[in-house]
Structure 1
Amino acid sequence: MPPRQHQVPSSIDDWKRSDDYHNSFLIPKDDVLNAVVENNKEQGLPDIAVSTAQGKLLNLLVRSTGAKRILEVGTLGGYSTIWLARGLPADGNIVTLELSAHHAKVARENFATAGFASQIEVIEGPGAESLAKLHPEHAFDLVFIDADKPSNVTYFTEAKRLVRPGGIIIVDNVVRYGRVADLEYSDANVEGVRKLLLAIKGDQDVEATTIGTVGEKGYDGFIYAVRN
């Protein structure tokens, strides 16, 4: 048997250092995305977008699955949206939903900076209402959900309706420093994830798993589901 690795306590400083180290080899310096991050900061947006490595993972998933039609729930400043858009073919497109008019404005600026203004449609308003109004001619290939956690079940249910068989649904921030699994802990975000897990359990429409992550954004994880 291989020797057991020596286990030592770690912290977000260790995780960030690891992210920075690996990214230095695998993800080139990106002036456009750096400008997007700076614009988001200057415009007062919260620093809650996906990490660099997570953005690259989204990009690679789009490329490897050949996705052409993407739905995103929760635009913020469009950082994750741009990573997704970079994986699209020339005739691909993204519909992204954002509650805040200010966030949507900043995102549109960032999409223009990144050269994707014509491929990304931003729909403003409450996510549940916007989803209910969506009846696209063609089903989506991939749905990325990264919005208010108490509405997770609503977003996931609509995503199942809107994604094609074999399509992918990703729900971000479902581990939350392990608090979701700590039954003595409760807040609205944690309960939103627990309700989603309960809804997925036994759901014959999807096959799903949770992948825990650590990195510059801390200890969290995402649900990866495939529509049957």
Structure 2
Amino acid sequence: MTDQAEQAQQTWDAVDAYFSEQLIGRDPVLEAAAAAADEAGLPHIAVAPNQGKLLHLLALTQGARRILEVGTLGGYSAIWLARALPADGTLITLELDPKHAAVARANLDRAGLGRVAEVRTGRAADSLAALVADGVEPFDLVFIDADKPSNPAYFARALELTRPGSLIVVDNVVRGGAIADAASTDPAITATRRLHELIAAEPRVSATSVQTVGAKGYDGFTLARVRA
């Protein structure tokens, strides 16, 4: 990283820290969840606090009763999402790695959310196919934050599992700006470009993508609303 890039990252970190201090504050439950993930050796790829709060606010604004998350990790974002649910709400979150899933379950239980949150272990493609086959009640919000090469397939399944008015959020779509590189051979880039081609050609959704900078670096997310 160049000196200029390091200086920019330091600024982004400071701004995120300021907003988190002002608008979120200390949260012992979330801090404990992050610490448990660190102690278990999970990768440091969970959403930042202000990003988690955004997911929370989106779910509240949506009046979500049913939320689907693809990619659990240690359950940090799942806690933010599940906190937006009513007492009779449901969060189903999908995680490939049994170790990660165990950490997430413990974190959700510690947060008092075990009654509304279910962690399903296995390949997300298989779990999503099972949800479709079971004919489950549609989800009001879907958050996709798992292996990037599978984003097009996850989005297609999300369309099968939602209803008109549902929101679909896909994280990490800017890839440090590499999303604009049509010549890239990186599977995460090529798949994310395919995702946006799929969305652009899909009449059932209205969508936008937003670039972000912050403690997680330079990236962004895509927000799609299922049309009536």
Q: TM-score range by the shorter chain?
A: over 0.9
Q: CA deviation at 1:183?
A: 2.8
Q: CA deviation at 1:29?
A: 0.3
TM (norm. structure 2) is 0.94
Q: Deviations over 1:157-203 (max 9, x none)?
A: 00000011110000000001101112343311111101101111221
Distance 2:135 2:73 in 1: 23
Q: Residue in 2 aligned with 1:77?
A: 74
Show the 5 A alignment for 1:156-175: 156-175=155-174
Distance 1:166 1:63 in 2: 14
Q: CA deviation at 1:136?
A: 4.3
The one-letter code sitting in structure 2 at the alignment partner of 1:122 is V
Distance 2:21 2:76 in 1: 19
Q: Residue in 2 aligned with 1:129?
A: 126
Q: Residue in 1 aligned with 2:37?
A: 40
Distance 1:127 1:156 in 2: 12
Distance 1:79 1:164 in 2: 26
Q: Which runs of 4+ in 1 moved over 2 A?
A: 182-186
TM (norm. structure 1) is 0.94
Distance 1:11 1:218 in 2: 9
The one-letter code sitting in structure 2 at the alignment partner of 1:62 is A
Distance 2:75 2:145 in 1: 11
Distance 1:202 1:156 in 2: 13
Q: CA deviation at 1:116?
A: 0.5
Q: CA deviation at 1:107?
A: 0.5
SS of alignment partner, residue 17 of structure 2? helix
Distance 2:83 2:24 in 1: 14
Aligned pair 1:141/2:140, yes or no?
yes
8 Å contact from structure 2 (residues 72, 104) kept in 1: yes
Distance 2:136 2:221 in 1: 28
Q: Residue in 2 aligned with 1:185?
A: 184
Aligned pair 1:101/2:98, yes or no?
yes
8 Å contact from structure 2 (residues 184, 190) kept in 1: no
Could you say what the CA RMSD is over the residues aligned between the two structures, in angstroms?
Answer: 1.3
Distance 2:8 2:182 in 1: 23
Give the length in aligned residue pairs: 221
Q: Residue in 1 aligned with 2:214?
A: 215
Pick one of 24, 28, 31 that aligns with 2:28.
Answer: 31
Q: Residue in 1 aligned with 2:61?
A: 64
The one-letter code sitting in structure 2 at the alignment partner of 1:26 is L
Matched-pair identity in %: 52
In structure 1, runs of 5+ residues without a counterpart are 1-7
Indicate how the Cα distance of structure 1 residues 181 and 174 shifts in structure 2: closer, same or farther if over 3 A, else same. same
The one-letter code sitting in structure 2 at the alignment partner of 1:206 is V
Q: Residue in 1 aligned with 2:195?
A: 196
SS of alignment partner, residue 11 of structure 1? helix
SS of alignment partner, residue 178 of structure 1? helix
Aligned pair 1:11/2:8, yes or no?
yes
Distance 2:96 2:135 in 1: 20
Greater helix content: 2
The one-letter code sitting in structure 1 at the alignment partner of 2:167 is I
Q: Residue in 2 aligned with 1:119?
A: 116
Distance 1:18 1:50 in 2: 16
